[in-house]
Amino acid sequence: MRWYLKALGTRKIVEFIVLVLFVIFFLGPLLNLAILAFTGKWSYPDVLPHQWSMKWWTFVFKQEDIAKSIGLSFMIAAIVTGLSILICIPAAYAFARIRFPLSKFFLFSFLLTHAFPKMGLYVSIAVLFYKLGLMNTLLGVVLIHMINVLMFMTWIPTAAFRNVHKAQEESARDVGAGPFRVFLKITLPMALPGIIVASIFTFLNSLDEAQGTFLVGIPNYKTMPIVMYSIISDYPAYAGAVFSIILTAPTIILLLAAKRFVSADVMSSGFQLK
């Protein structure tokens, strides 16, 4: 045994241990969640449940406000994503292509919403929303969600547009395409991976948003994360586990679907302030 370890070398052994810890750290809770969600009976010292069951799934789906919250969450996330694409993509293109004074400053200012403790920001926004009559409205919830994603939705597409070289746009003009056709056929398709990544990020972020929604949307707009708070406090952990899986599933499905586009450099290039 010792000769084997020696042959492997300390480096390999340390790497292996780190990998194992990493896997336990990340996958352990998820595995536990999955087991909990399908548990019928499980008493403390046992490693696995005595009885498997789907009863918590039927329980969760029977709760009327839960089913409603799932629909609401997805609807809000879709609206938020759509609106931020409409607003942020043209802005990103402007940041990437047009030289205007203080452009760097404006781009950097998107970081501001992430610079303060969220709750403080939300409370001050809530005061404003109250005056404007936006409390407890769909628009209010959507706006709160958009504030969160403004930075990613502008930064990542800006980098994506910057990566489209001027010569590539110019050669399209050169062969006879007008500015609008160049944008539609050349620039936009080339920047699409970045835009998709940012949109997925926005969608997931909105799906997951709880604090702001809690402040602005209650009682009419209870999204999945809000309902989850009450489930965790009012029902056994099994129900919470089922609900977590429902909340996690879209993330995993979307990320798998967009695997082709999501890469570390698409994300990171958004954070290089050039």
Q: Which residues bind another protein (CB under 8 A)?
A: 165-168, 170-178, 181, 185-186, 189-190, 192
Q: CB nearer to another protein: give 98 or 175.
A: 175
What is the closest distance, in whole angstroms, from the C-beta atom of residue 184 to another protein in the complex? 12
Q: CB nearer to another protein: give 117 or 176.
A: 176
What is the closest distance, in whole angstroms, from the C-beta atom of residue 207 to another protein in the complex? 29
DSSP-assigned beta bridge partners for residue 92: none
What is the closest distance, in whole angstroms, from the C-beta atom of residue 193 to another protein in the complex? 10
Q: CB nearer to another protein: give 109 or 168.
A: 168
CA nearest neighbour of 141 among 69, 70, 64, 79 = 79
Q: How far is CA 66 from CA 73, 136, 138, 178, 228, in A?
A: 10, 19, 18, 51, 9
Q: CB nearer to another protein: give 86 or 175.
A: 175
CA nearest neighbour of 92 among 168, 201, 205, 187 = 187
CA nearest neighbour of 152 among 106, 205, 100 = 205
**Chain centroid offset of residue 12 CA:** 35
Q: CB nearer to another protein: give 64 or 174.
A: 174
What is the closest distance, in whole angstroms, from the C-beta atom of residue 71 to another protein in the complex? 36
What is the closest distance, in whole angstroms, from the C-beta atom of residue 73 to another protein in the complex? 33
State the Rg of the chain over Cα.
24
C-alpha 31/C-alpha 241 separation (Å) is: 11
